[in-house]
Structure 1
Amino acid sequence: MKTFFVLSCFIAATLAAVVPVSQDLRELPAVRHEEHHDEYGQYALRYITAENTVVSERGRLVPGANGAYVLEIEGQYQFIGDDGKIYTTKYRGGQDGFHVDGSHLPEPTSLI
């Protein structure tokens, strides 16, 4: 009987500790998903969610300055904002750093 009581208390405590999902978070299943990889780690992917968010990205190996290969990435994502407008953000990353571009993003400011 004690074992049953202790086990019941443990289960009740575990269920009470479950954190509810915030209303701000959306779970968007991919209605279409394509992904390709090769043996060198290069890849290409694209998916579309139920709310028409479109994400595409590719990573490819390019020769680096020291003769080794570096994985460069480039991609973009597009979504429909709460205001009904389509927002597109493009990004790329490689030897010269990570760069993001989108007409809805603020312009970078110079520190000089």
Structure 2
Amino acid sequence: MKFLIAFLAVVAVALAGPIDERGAQIVKYTNDHQGISGYNVEVETSNGIRTIEQAELRNLGNDNAAIVVRGSYSYTGDDGQVYTVNYIADENGFQPEAAHLPRA
């Protein structure tokens, strides 16, 4: 009986340990490439990471042409909380927004 209790305690500790991220698998992947005008991509992994991104070319055919990328990604932190970052990247650079990020 003592052996069984000790064995179950070891199993419980092993299960409570950190997850090995190297074994994560892609569980969802969609890619809608629209040629030069843009794309839509969504990726989700077995360890809870998720990203969605959309891009479009703005002002095609003139000197001010720029690609505009909008998206978000989320992951589970070491504290068990899910963190989400929404962003836009355009001619003004990468602009992330999230509750856990500091603001200027």
What TM-score does the superposition give when structure 1 sets the normalisation length?
Answer: 0.65
Equivalent position of 1:55 in the other structure: 51
**Partner amino acid for 1:77?**
Y
- Name the SS of the counterpart of 1:88 in structure 2: strand
Structure 1 residues without counterparts, runs of 5 or longer? 1-23
Asked if residue 46 in structure 1 is aligned to residue 42 in structure 2, the reply is yes
Structure 1 CA distance for aligned equivalents of residues 66 and 33 of structure 2: 16
Equivalent position of 2:4 in the other structure: none
**Partner amino acid for 1:36?**
D
The question of whether the paired residues in 1 share the 8 Å contact of 2:40 and 2:53 is answered with: yes
1:72-91 CA-to-partner distances (Å, cap 9, x unmatched) read: 10111011111111100111
Structure 2 CA distance for aligned equivalents of residues 57 and 88 of structure 1: 13
Equivalent position of 1:88 in the other structure: 84
Identity %: 27
Q: Which has the higher helix share?
A: 2
Distance 1:80 1:73, change over 3 A: same
Question: Aligned pairs, how many?
Answer: 85
Structure 2 CA distance for aligned equivalents of residues 31 and 71 of structure 1: 28
Structure 2 residues without counterparts, runs of 5 or longer? 1-19
CA shift, 1:68, in A, is 4.2
Equivalent position of 2:33 in the other structure: 37
Equivalent position of 2:71 in the other structure: 75
Equivalent position of 2:17 in the other structure: none
- Name the SS of the counterpart of 1:84 in structure 2: coil
Equivalent position of 1:11 in the other structure: none
What TM-score does the superposition give when structure 2 sets the normalisation length?
Answer: 0.70
Structure 1 CA distance for aligned equivalents of residues 45 and 33 of structure 2: 21
